[in-house]
Amino acid sequence: MRLPETIERLYLDFDGFFASVEQQCDRRLRGRPIGVVPFEGTDRTAVIACSKEAKIYGVKNVMPIKEARKLCPDIILVPQKPDLYRRAHNALLCEIETVIAIDTAKSIDELTCVLDDSGKRDPELLAARIKSAISDNIGPFITCSIGFAANRQLAKIACKAGKEETKRRGSYGNGLAIWWPSIMPDPLLRIELEDIPGVGSSMAKRLYRNGVFTTAQLYALQPKHMRKIWHSVNGERLWYALHGYDIQAPAQQRGMFGHGRVLPPEARSITGAYEISRLLLTKAARRLRRESYYAAGLWLWLSVTDGTWFGKHYLPVVNDDQAILSALRLLWDRVRLDHPRGVTIFRVGVTLYDLSPSNERQMDMLNNDDTVRQKWEKANNAVDSINTKYSGTIVSMGEWKPPAGGHVGGKISYTRIPSAEDFW
């Protein structure tokens, strides 16, 4: 395994991305505390993203609206515009690529680059050129923080450390941190243990039980010891990453397709929630087909008045709307049986899981429905072709009536970059 002698990676994180895009596009919001919310008309939801002005008051992402208003009475709530954020993401990537090639877009607001020789020699100049390209050609209200290090994991930690340093100076964002191998591990050891990627709250508790309470103690462990604590090779991989080795994460395979949504007040009945879940599942099934997968399971989950409700249903390895929506109806029949007097539903989610690539599909020998499946798949292919041609939902199975606020299947996501098709 190779141990780089200089910095080789850049990690970029846009500062308060969703709120910054709103401010860049609407001059009335500039310099004011704003919070992006799922939709208007209720305070029984959360601020899913906030501006740097709101963060100064202590407002955080995914904070209940009532709590955010207590901290910042003047906060302006703006309904999300996911398609705007997708277009901003694409425009920003185009500007960055005029300066340096992008290796991977890790999420809608984070990306990594491999440094060329000039970037290794003068990372400050490279960072300045990237920030100037964004400011000059997109606008000054969308800023980013950048970290440089020997590998991607360390560059990500450096990026966050640079952003945190700007907070200590009384501002937020536009940070820069360069972790040359020659100065390591000193800057790393100043990072809180829970801020290390790969150390979540549950893993932190496991580390505490093993006598590890600081990043310095974690750094001092041996690779096999970290594998033992993690119960997997991921612990050993993290050891090599923290020690500056050029370690690449294994390629991840798709595990599921799903969508979830906070329901507007008028759709919190069983009937209203079912209709929205049907639209969400149709969007998930379209993504399933676009990426050439079949699913053998469907999962429905609900956030209700007295807690949560979960249900799953077997699918005979399918990807067509008819089979998938039929299974959804059966799951909702179970919801009605469990709640004969009705129930208030605040959030609904659907997930297609147990996936298999289309070229590896295994038929169910006990369910002789291949002829029916082929018929419905041909019908779905025709429907998908029409919708693609007109860039919208022109044909659907059942009524297509998105709820107030729209964004069925197209929403703010920190882990997935939505495609244009998500907004049809």
Residue 340: which CATH number?
3.30.1490.100
Encode the chain (424 residues) as per-residue pLDDT tens digits.
899 999 999 999 999 999 999 999 999 999 999 999 988 877 778 999 999 899 989 999 989 999 999 999 999 999 999 889 989 999 999 999 999 999 999 889 999 999 999 999 999 999 999 999 999 999 999 999 999 999 999 999 999 999 999 888 877 889 999 999 999 999 999 999 999 998 988 999 999 999 999 999 999 999 999 999 999 999 999 999 999 999 887 666 778 999 998 888 889 999 999 999 999 999 999 999 999 999 999 999 999 988 999 999 999 889 999 999 999 999 999 999 999 999 999 999 999 999 998 876 665 555 556 777 788 888 888 888 898 888 888 888 888 888 765 556 666 666 666 776 777 6
Q: Which residues of 392-413 are buried (b: 16+ CB within 10 A; e: fewer)?
A: ebeeebeeeeebebbbbbbbbb
Say yes or no: 100 and 32 in one domain: yes
Instruction: Tell which residue, 63, 91, 75, 85, has the closest CA to residue 29.
Output: 75
6's CB contacts (< 8 A; 6+ apart) are 120, 150, 180, 181
Q: Which of 130, 165, 182 is the last residue of a domain?
A: 182
Collapsing DSSP to helix, strand or coil, 8 comes out as: coil
- According to DSSP, residue 313 is labeled E
Domain count, the chain: 3
Token code pair at residue 71: 């901290």
Q: Are residues 406 and 317 in the same domain?
A: yes
- The pLDDT of residue 414 is 60
Predicted local distance difference test score (pLDDT) of residue 253:
73
| CA–CA dist 87, 66 (Å, integer) | 31
Quick one: 266 and 366 in the same domain?
yes
Q: Which domain holds residue 407?
A: 256-423
Show which of 182, 200, 226 is a domain's final residue.
Answer: 182
Instruction: Give the end of a domain, one of 182, 202, 236.
Output: 182
Other CB atoms within 10 Å distance of the CB of residue 136? 10
Q: What is the pLDDT of residue 135?
A: 97
Give me the pLDDT at residue 136, please. Answer: 97
The predicted structure's pLDDT at residue 413: 63
Instruction: Give buried/exposed letters for 35-62 (b at 16+ CB in 10 A, else e).
Output: bbbbbeebeebbbbbbbbbbbeeebebe
Q: How far is CA 319 from the centre of its chain?
A: 24
What pLDDT shows up at residue 139? 96
CB atoms within 10 A of CB 123: 22
294-329: burial string, b at 16+ Cβ within 10 Å, e else:
bbbbbbbbbbbeeeebebebebbbbbbbbbbbebbe
Greatest extent of the chain over all pairs of C-alpha atoms, in Å: 69
The pLDDT, as a whole number, for residue 134 is 98
Q: How far apart are CA 153 and CA 197, in angstroms?
A: 8
Kind plus residue range of the DSSP H or E element containing 286 = helix 270-290
> Looking at the structure, do residues 154 and 16 belong to the same domain, yes or no?
yes
Report the interhelical angle of 201-209 vs 223-230 (nearest 10°).
120
Kindly state whether residues 220 and 325 are assigned to the same domain: no
What CATH code is carried by the domain that includes residue 202?
1.10.150.20
**304 in the same domain as 191:** no
Say if residue 185 is preceded by a cis peptide, omega within 30 of 0. yes
pTM of the model: 0.78
Q: Are residues 171 and 58 in the same domain?
A: yes
Q: Which of 283, 348, 353 is CA-nearest to residue 318?
A: 353
Report the alpha-carbon distance of residue 311 to residue 336 in Å, rounded: 12
Same domain, 219 and 204: yes
Report DSSP letters for 155-212, one per residue.
HHHHHHHHHHHHHHTT--S--EEE--GGGTTHHHHTS-GGGSTT--HHHHHHHHHTT-
Three-state DSSP at 261 gives strand
Q: Do 194 and 331 belong to one domain?
A: no
How many other CB atoms are there within 10 angstroms of residue 257's CB atom? 23
| 210 and 315 part of one domain | no
In terms of domains, do 190 and 339 share one?
no
Same domain membership, residue 162 and residue 246: no
What is the CATH classification number for the domain harbouring 72?
A: 3.40.1170.60
Range list of H helices, 26-81: 52-55, 65-71
pLDDT at 397: 82
Query: How many Å apart are CA 132 and CA 116, to the nearest integer?
Result: 19
Q: Alpha carbon of 308 to those of 278, 302, 304: distances in Å?
A: 19, 6, 5
Residue 154: exposed, middle, or buried by beta-carbon count in 10 A (0-12, 13-18, 19+)?
A: buried
Q: Give the residue among 281, 353, 346, 283 at the shortest CA–CA distance from 313.
A: 353
What pLDDT does 284 receive? 94
